[in-house]
Every structure is written in C-alpha cells, then in structure tokens.
Amino acid sequence: MGYVIYGDLGSGAFSTEAALAEVEADYEFRLVSLKNNEQLEPAFLALNPSGKMPALQLPEGGIVTESAALLVVIADRHPQHRLLGEPGSFASAEALRWIAYMASELYPMVEIVDYPERFAPAGEAADALREKARERIRARFLAIEKAVAGPFLLASGFSAADIYAAMFSRWDIGREWRAANLPKVEALAAAVSQRSRIAPVWARHFKK
C-alpha cells in the first residue's frame, strides 16, 4: 500500500503531491472539495480535526497533517532523494529555515486573504483586512526574492523549500505585482514546474 493524500487541487496538497512525485513514491490523491466544504464533513474531520488540508495517510496507516511537516516527513522517509539536502548540512538547515518561514509568515496571511470574514465583519472591514494581509504576504515574499540563489532558493540546488515557495507564489498576491516584483521567484516556480516528475502534478493543480 502506498501513501494517500487527502486534499484539493490548487491547495496546500500540491506541495505534498509534488514531493511524493519527486521521490517517485507510490501514492493516491483523494479529492476533498474546498468549494463544497468537504473538509468540514465528518469523514475528513476524522482524519484531521482542524479541518485543514492536506492530510497524508502513510503506507503503514498513520495520518500526518500540516504541509510543512509533510515535506519533512517525506524527505526523511526518502533520504536518497535529498529533498532537504545532505542531512546535518548547512543547506539542510537553510531549507528547513525557509519552510518554517513560509509556514509561519505566509500561511496565516493566506487564510485571512481567502476568508477575511473569519476575522472581521463582512463588508468594508473584511475587505480592508484582506488587503492588509495581502500586503504582508507581498512583503514577506520580497524577503524570499532577495534570498533566491537562482534558479532555486538555495545555492546548493533544488530542495523541498522550492516546492513550497512555488506553491505559495501561485496564490492570491496579484499576477501583475508578482511579475513586476518577483522575477527570481517566478523563475524558481518555472524551474519547479518543469522538473520531469513534478510537471504533471503542477499541470493538474495550476493548469500551466
């Protein structure tokens, strides 16, 4: 039995699927529709009581959640692919640093951009909050832009941090703003999307 990913297309499940594809793991993708709020149904809540995706069932049957943790788990279980670089190396520490940065600095703001009414009254207050959250995402992305070694985030080459950064770059920060302000991140995302094992996963999630 292989891995089973529970998630939606274009969601945080992309990073988990891309990592599994990159390490040539056997997996199945089970769609949980955000549009239909299926993540709040009992079947999914039994897997992850927080109602957030993705959830990953391990081949031996355990369930792991939180996309940043899943990247580390996959890298740890498939060490020959060096998704986090050489264990114990500075490159590995840097990859973990950037994954943690994106999980803590970007993900909370993404939730506000997508669902501002969870944090403020619907209408002007929610709209203003969404824009403030989007501004914060953009500011945090500028820090990533400065750090990109090219073509990937780390000078040591491709890592799971690139999968994560590419995924976040496809979300709601504004295509025109992204093109004008994040040329290195755009090149990084293109490089990730063109990796032979990730390319079909990228096409399914982001259509291009």
In this predicted structure, what is the pLDDT of residue 55? 97
In this predicted structure, what is the pLDDT of residue 208? 58
Question: Which parts of the chain have pLDDT scores under 70?
Answer: 208
Mapped onto helix, strand or coil, the DSSP state of residue 207 is coil
What confidence tens digit (pLDDT) does each residue in 134-173 have?
999 999 999 999 999 999 999 999 999 999 999 999 998 8
8 A C-beta contact, residue 21 and residue 198: yes
In this predicted structure, what is the pLDDT of residue 4? 98
Q: What whole-number distance in Å separates Cα of residue 112 and Cα of residue 139?
A: 15
8 A C-beta contact, residue 178 and residue 172: no
CA angle 168, 104, 25 (to 5 degrees): 55
In this predicted structure, what is the pLDDT of residue 173? 86
- Which domains does the chain possess? 3-81 (3.40.30.10), 90-196 (1.20.1050.10)
